[in-house]
Amino acid sequence: MSHAMVVDDSRAVRTILSRNLAEMGYDVCSAADGAEALALLREELALILVDWNMPRVNGLEFLRTLRADPRYASVKVMMVTTETEVDQMVKALAAGADEYVMKPFTKEILADKLRMLGLIQ
């Protein structure tokens, strides 16, 4: 079973994303912000879904910290955020995000992005 982490300050969004990933076969853990996520990092993670706007450590800061650590080079990261400006998407991709999903999203959109990343069939 593949391991995934959901990082979002909204409990409702964490629940929805976690449920969707579990239905796709992932063992899912979650964190309420980037600082908590950094403390929970595990080398066996295959995927991290992270929000941009969070307290303490935001999604972009989390992503930059994650990508600076070679142990997590193979982890796929998808930003799932309300940030819809093209320049924000460019910043996230430049910082190491593999995909970008704008809220609101559907399970089908998530599945399509995971297929594009080669994480599900």
Q: What is the pLDDT along the chain (121 residues), one digit of tens a residue?
A: 799 999 999 999 999 999 999 999 999 999 999 999 999 999 899 999 999 999 999 999 999 999 999 999 999 999 999 988 999 999 999 999 999 999 999 999 999 999 999 998 8
CA–CA gap between residue 39 and residue 109 (Å, rounded): 29
- Say what the pLDDT of residue 84 is: 87
Looking at domain 2-116, its CATH class is: alpha beta
| Residue listed under structure tokens 């080669």 | 118
**Model-level pTM?**
0.95
CA–CA gap between residue 98 and residue 75 (Å, rounded): 9
- Say what the pLDDT of residue 121 is: 82
- Say what the pLDDT of residue 67 is: 97
Please state the domain extents for the chain: 2-116
CA–CA gap between residue 50 and residue 44 (Å, rounded): 17
Cis before 104 (ω within 30): yes
